[in-house]
Amino acid sequence: MNSQTAALEIQNPTGTGRPRLEVRRVTRTWASMSPGGRTDVVLQDVSLSVGAGEFVAVLGPSGCGKSTLLNVIAGLQVPDSGEVLLDGDPHAQRIGRVAHMHQRDLLLPWRTVIENARLGLELGGIPVAEADRRAREVADRFGLSKVADSYPWKLSGGMRQRVALLRATLPDRSVLLLDEPFGALDAITRADLQKWLAEVLNRSNRAVVLVTHDIEEALILADRVYVMAGPSGRIVDEVSVALPRPRPEGIATSELFVAQKRRLLAALAGQEGMER
Amino acid sequence: MRASETFTPQLPSNVAYQRAKTLAADWLPPTALAATAIGAWEAAVRVLSVPAWLLPPPSSVLAVTWNSFGLLMGHAGTTLLEIILGFTLATVCGVSLAAGIASSRLLERSIYPFVIASQTVPVITIAPLLLVWVGPEITSKVIVVAIISFFPITVNLVDGLRASDREMVDMFRTLGATKRQVFLKLQTPSALPYLFSGLKVAAVVSVIGAVIGEWVGAQGGLGWLMRVSAPQLQTARVFAAILVLSVLAMLLFMAVAGAEKWALRNYPRSNTSRR
Ligand SMILES: Nc1ncnc2c1ncn2[C@@H]1O[C@H](COP(=O)(O)OP(=O)(O)O)[C@@H](O)[C@H]1O
Ligand SMILES: [Mg+2]
């Protein structure tokens, strides 16, 4: 009995206990820029939850409100209504406690790779020498040890995204938000980095939220996918990804993968999913 | 082995050729222009036999420069001291003002209008007053230099401190940065190229400030020398003083440009000058 529940918990971390991150009925509007002066709804009644160690993707077209959702979760923007809970606490201070990686790498051009990577530790009050040592320790796993002392403007887009991820993940945070981290890269580099990201984040206990407009990216990386529809961002479907982990080579052409892809495509096209 | 022996000698000479080519591209046009202008001036003065007190030929300006070199250098030293003190004062005040204006709405609203207003009053009208207030010594000149050169420093630095990318600020905030940390680790380094633009302009106008200050009343300096030489119809000496002043201004500009190159050595090229 006991071993059974334990096994269940490993397979489905959200199954029991409080979710690490929970978004409850969040609505966010902007003052409209079009004449008439009403408001544009960007997020409407968005709810989702992510357990510790779980990787969730939010899939939706451009402009449906994905970045806004992450900014609300990170505490950069205040929702009009609804709440965001960290470990069940709706009043938890989120800014500075949630790791957030933007679509743009936002590397500081006057800092080397390592100096950029250690920024979060430095801002957290860790002495520079100590921050530097810790960044260098992990740089190898990120494939960055050879360029550790180069300036970011000399690196390729893929390398820059690695630095940005290293910077986001070095401080110890229980939630990691990824805003289309590979959206600006070419398809080959993107596929490489997806595989690499899955390895890097594997066995970490973080709750990860990835927003993307790329169906395959969502399926390759996530345990669960929320489908979001625009223009007033709503969650229209939720799909558990029934694929083995770690995802084997060539999974993207397997029958199971294609079936799930079809399901997500249908949801994106506006047809309600079967589970809802 | 033999292949490399025949190959390598061509490489350095090629590099040297490229370097000579860029050097020539840099120096040839201004040198050619100056030579043409000076040649035309010399020819015109001689052909039209313009009197020397009206417009001396370049050759006699050079001769005066050579003959009164000690005198010119003595006065150049006075002027340079005023410039360096005034420029330093302007940098300290300009940077503090900009930091205040960029980090406080209240300071921006209250002080910034006066910073701009200060430049609408011509220094030539302030300089005589300063002379009355603080006397004919070097102090009044230092203040004139500071008044004229703090402005480009402040305005450029305020722009630079404000230019930080909104998303960058958000990134800092999600990493837990305080306002102070954002100022020190994001706004300040991203404003550095702007600061140097301001300092370069300030270096040049500080020379003008010193000359105006000395012109109005002084005990020495190149501006004073010009002022007393003109009524004596020593026009060649006025030109010699101008020549020394331009060299001084150029050296100051190059010093600031050199400091800029060093300070921004790790910045991407588009942010700094060409090379
Ligand atoms: N600062 C803003 N002011 C007004 N509208 C905004 C602002 N930021 C985003 N929006 C609007 O919110 C909607 C969602 O934007 P965003 O969250 O960036 O979408 P996504 O990340 O899915 O592409 C867009 O229609 C956009 O025009
Ligand atoms: Mg976006």
Instruction: Supply the CATH number for residue B163's domain.
Output: 1.10.3720.10
Asked whether residue B2 is assigned to any structural domain, the reply reads no
Judge whether B189 is closer than 8 Å to chain A, CB to CB.
yes
pLDDT digit string, tens, across residues A145-172: 999 999 999 999 989 999 999 999 999 9
Query: Which residues in chain A have Cβ-Cβ distances shorter than 8 Å to B176?
Result: 95-97, 120, 123-124, 171
Asked whether residue B245 is assigned to any structural domain, the reply reads yes
Domain chopping of chain A, boundaries: 4-97+173-275, 107-171
Query: Which residues in chain B have Cβ-Cβ distances shorter than 8 Å to A119?
Result: 175, 185
Asked whether residue B127 is assigned to any structural domain, the reply reads yes
Overall domain count for chain B = 1
Instruction: Kindly determine whether residue B170 and residue A95, on different chains, have CB atoms separated by under 8 Å.
Output: no
pLDDT digit string, tens, across residues A77-105: 999 999 999 999 999 999 989 999 998 99
Judge whether B210 is closer than 8 Å to chain A, CB to CB.
no
Provide long-range contacts, Cβ within 8 A and 24+ apart, for A101-104.
A101/A164, A101/A165, A101/A168, A101/A176, A101/A177, A101/A178, A101/A179, A101/A181, A102/A164, A102/A179, A102/B167, A102/B170, A102/B171, A103/A67, A103/A179, A103/A180, A103/A181, A103/A183, A103/A184, A104/A184, A104/B167
pLDDT digit string, tens, across residues B57-74: 999 999 999 999 999 999
pLDDT digit string, tens, across residues B174-196: 999 999 999 999 999 999 999 99
pLDDT at B246 over 90: yes
pLDDT digit string, tens, across residues A219-250: 999 999 999 987 888 999 999 998 888 788 88
CATH number of this structure's domain A4-97+173-275: 3.40.50.300
Asked whether residue B15 is assigned to any structural domain, the reply reads no
Instruction: Kindly determine whether residue A109 and residue B173, on different chains, have CB atoms separated by under 8 Å.
Output: no
pLDDT at A57 over 70: yes
pLDDT band at residue A116 under the 50/70/90 scheme: very high
- Encoded tokens for B254: 């190059």
* Least confident segment among A34-38, A194-198, B174-178: A34-38
Judge whether B186 is closer than 8 Å to chain A, CB to CB.
yes
Distance in angstroms (rounded) separating the CA atoms of residues B216 and A260:
85
Distance in angstroms (rounded) separating the CA atoms of residues A67 and A30:
14
ipTM: 0.87
Bridge partners of residue A83, in order along the sequence: A24
Asked whether residue B7 is assigned to any structural domain, the reply reads no
Instruction: Kindly determine whether residue A102 and residue B167, on different chains, have CB atoms separated by under 8 Å.
Output: yes
Q: What is the pTM of this model?
A: 0.83
- Encoded tokens for B121: 């009053």
pLDDT at B36 over 90: yes
Q: Structural domain of residue B117, as residue ranges? A: 56-261
pLDDT at A271 over 80: no
Judge whether B137 is closer than 8 Å to chain A, CB to CB.
no
State the distance from the centre of ligand 2 to the C-alpha of A213, rounded, in angstroms: 9
Q: Residue B103 burial (CB < 10 Å; 0-12/13-18/19+)?
A: middle
Distance in angstroms (rounded) separating the CA atoms of residues A46 and A230:
12
